[in-house]
Amino acid sequence: MTEGNDFHADDEPKLFTALLRPHRALSRKGFLVLMACLSVISFGAGMVFLSMGAWPVFGFFGLDLLAIYVAFKIYDRRAKATEEITVTASEIRVRRVSPAGDVVEWAFNPLWVQVDRVEHAEFGIEQLFLVSRGRRVSIARFLGAEEKASFLSALLEALQDARRGPSYNPVT
């Protein structure tokens, strides 16, 4: 899905580039330590219930541990998504890669694009959008409110530079 001009601005100097990824709370090592601790606790608690004759409870502790493992694996898979936003003098390109590796790209003319935001009085910026020709593309979905504010400031500055156009230094 591409909007705007068909010219690819790969050779132009980049005024702004951001590669956004979801926040990852645990490293691989942290995940292994957490699962080891939960395994020891679940096994110990399960053994207590097993010794009291409540043997089905031991199995439920195993199911709980399996559910936590699956939830973290799903979380880890979703954390592979990325969003890259690049601004040049002639183009704004948004490239989104899903966790499955599917790529969707949008290209906008920086002269016509507008940045729209949804703001909450207490929580700050909740959503950012690039709007052009009736299309509205959500950006920076992985960022928190303060990060979105900083990102928005840098993006607006790059858009102003793009609208000014390239500066040429004539050789005399």
Distance CA 49, CA 127 (A): 48
Interval 81-109: pLDDT, tens = 899 999 998 899 999 999 888 999 999 99
Distance CA 109, CA 90 (A): 6
Interval 129-156: pLDDT, tens = 999 988 999 999 888 889 999 999 999 9
Average pLDDT value over all residues in the chain? 86
Total domains in the chain come to 2
Distance CA 106, CA 136 (A): 10
Residue 68 lies in a domain: yes
Predicted confidence (pLDDT) at residue 5 exceeds the cutoff of 80: no
Cβ atoms of 133 and 112 closer than 8 Å:
yes
Give the pLDDT of residue 2.
Answer: 46
Task: Show the domain range for 42.
Answer: 28-78
90 and 145 share a domain? yes
Residue 172 lies in a domain: no
How far from 163 is each of 53, 112, 135, CA to CA, in Å? Answer: 75, 9, 20
Distance CA 89, CA 109 (A): 9
Give the pLDDT of residue 43.
Answer: 93
In this structure, what is the dihedral angle of CA atoms 132, 136, 137, 139, given to the nearest 10 degrees? 90
